[in-house]
Amino acid sequence: MLPGLRTKVGQEFGRIDGMKPAAPPYLRAALRHLRGSDPILADLIRQVGPYRMVRRPERFQALVRAIIFQQLAGRAAQAIYDRFVALFPGVRFPSPRQVIEAEAGAMRRAGLSRQKLLYIRDLARHVADGEINFHRFARMDDEAIIQHLTRVRGIGRWTAEMFLMFNLGRPDVFPVDDLGVRNAIHRAYHFERPPTPREMREIGERWRPFRSVAVWYLWQSVRLILPDASGRPPQAARKKPR
């Protein structure tokens, strides 16, 4: 993963916390399709190795966490998140109703900005009032869920897409606004400049209906040493003459 993106994805949604990656039921079909439809991606799959994305069971908790971690360094965000959870002793994580009823000053003293406090309470109200019902998501398509979630203040399309991938395990999510995905495509497909969302969608069409798996491999691919457009390894990777 790209270092900056690794902070966002790894800490907001993809934390393992002792959980072991479990292969989704569609993985074998996805790898067969991706390898057969795109030789560049097939090579990245070979170099990166086994698919190891962890699917998280959380719903409300994951979205609260995502809001807290927005635009913050990892350690600072984690400290605020831990203090927020500690406001609700006796439970692993507070319910939406508990968040609504919690004293605002205590949450502010835990480190939440005024804006993030408003965002978290808006999310809690949507869930408590039934406007967002996570049990219905299984019967909804990806775009409907994104539209549902982005009604909440502080939840944008990228956050909703990460939720679809990491928490719902949806197989065909393609976040074209994600900087890490854009940079990985730029690098692997030898674009002279970062690709536009339209160009990314054109490339991603060949990966349907398993674009989530392709995205995970693209994130991982940036740690690889790839050849340049001429087929030669990067200058930094070439052996110096003795």
Spatial contact of 135 and 168, defined as CB atoms under 8 Å apart: no
Tokens of 116: 């993030």
| Dist CA 77 CA 149 (whole Å) | 22
Which entry of 38, 142, 172, 178 is annotated as an active-site residue? 178
| Dist CA 161 CA 177 (whole Å) | 10
SS3 124: helix
The dihedral over CA atoms of 66, 71, 75, 76, expressed in degrees to the nearest 10, equals: -100
| Dist CA 189 CA 82 (whole Å) | 41
DSSP line for 209-223? T-HHHHHHHHHHHTT
Is residue 38 part of the annotated active site? The answer reads: no
> Which residues are tagged catalytic?
178
